């Protein structure tokens, strides 16, 4: 592989990189079994802000779990997986600080779209150097909620965001400026594939009106050189709290 096409070069240029079959079928089977155990045994004990549903009266409509690693030792160990940590360090060109694992599901037939946003707006970092390693549990395409990235948008800084009122994604880009910041790229993936994006890469996802599942986990790592800005974090938490109250999950 030439330097120009290396994952690190692609990540630096585009703000995201695709790694096919990061996890083998056997590793995905183990991961899926542990996720199913958490959904069955742990989710019923969590608050509405920790385990989010499209419809809280319907347990089959689970859409998101925050901080899987804080709720279960298997996922805490996954954050320390040497192979995963090495990838994060290679792409960020720094030692990394593991943050959390989120579970993202778009239930068949009713999974809502994810608004265009930058994770870095939530992270409130200076410098804003972090990434998310997104691992698919299912084949994902346009019909069941594929991710879209705006290539090169991570080089344009933090863009204006506003309240989205979407549970689990409280902030979204204001206006429709994505086309001005880079080319939109649809990313179809298969089970076990991985997408990794920079904290400032604009991305979104479609809804899931299909009959198929759309499940993934996202592992977040900060570069060690990145530090949380207390004032930015305070402002973000205030907006998040207001929206959670309005949505009845506070």
Q: Is there a contact between 185 and 149 (Cβ–Cβ < 8 Å)?
A: yes
The total number of structural domains that make up the chain: 1
* 2 pLDDT tier (thresholds 50, 70, 90): very low
The pTM is what?
0.92
How confident is the prediction for the chain on average, in pLDDT? 92
Question: Could you give the C-alpha distances from 225 to 96, 126, 201, 209, 248, in angstroms and in order?
Answer: 9, 8, 19, 41, 37
- Name the percent of the chain lying above pLDDT 90: 79
* Selected residue with higher pLDDT from 231 and 97: 97
Which residues constitute the domain of residue 183?
Answer: 3-247
For the chain, helix (H) and strand (E) counts, in that order, are 8, 15
Residue 149: give its domain's CATH number. 2.60.120.620
Q: If pLDDT is split at 50, 70 and 90, which confidence band does 234 have?
A: confident
Q: Which has more pLDDT, 240 or 212? A: 212
- Residue-wise pLDDT tens digits, 9-52: 999 999 999 999 999 999 999 999 999 999 999 999 999 999 99
Band the pLDDT of 241: cuts 50, 70, 90.
confident
Q: What is the pLDDT of residue 247?
A: 66
Contact 135, 22 (CB under 8 A): yes
């Amino acid at each position: 592989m030439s330097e120009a096409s290396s994952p690190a070069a692609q990540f630096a240029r585009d703000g995201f990189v695709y790694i096919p079959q990061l996890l083998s079928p056997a590793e995905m089977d183990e991961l899926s079994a542990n996720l199913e155990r958490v959904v069955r045994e742990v989710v019923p004990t969590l608050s509405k802000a920790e385990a989010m549903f499209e419809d809280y009266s319907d347990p089959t409509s689970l859409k998101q779990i925050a901080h899987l690693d804080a709720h279960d030792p298997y996922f805490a160990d996954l954050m320390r997986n040497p192979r995963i940590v090495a990838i994060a360090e290679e792409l960020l060109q720094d030692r990394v600080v593991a943050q959390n694992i989120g579970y993202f599901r778009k239930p068949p037939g009713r999974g809502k779209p994810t608004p265009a946003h930058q994770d870095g707006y939530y992270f409130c970092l200076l410098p804003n150097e972090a990434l998310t390693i997104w691992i698919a549990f299912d084949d994902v395409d346009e019909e069941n909620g594929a991710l879209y990235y705006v290539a090169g948008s991570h080089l344009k800084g933090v863009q204006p965001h506003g309240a989205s009122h979407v549970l689990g994604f409280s902030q979204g880009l204001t206006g429709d400026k994505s086309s001005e910041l880079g080319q939109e790229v649809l990313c179809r993936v298969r089970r076990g594939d991985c997408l990794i994006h920079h904290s400032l890469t604009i991305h979104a996802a479609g809804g899931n009106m299909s009959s198929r599942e759309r499940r993934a986990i996202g592992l977040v790592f900060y570069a060690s050189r990145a530090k949380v800005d207390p004032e930015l974090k305070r402002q973000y938490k205030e907006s998040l709290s207001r929206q959670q109250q309005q949505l009845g999950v506070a």
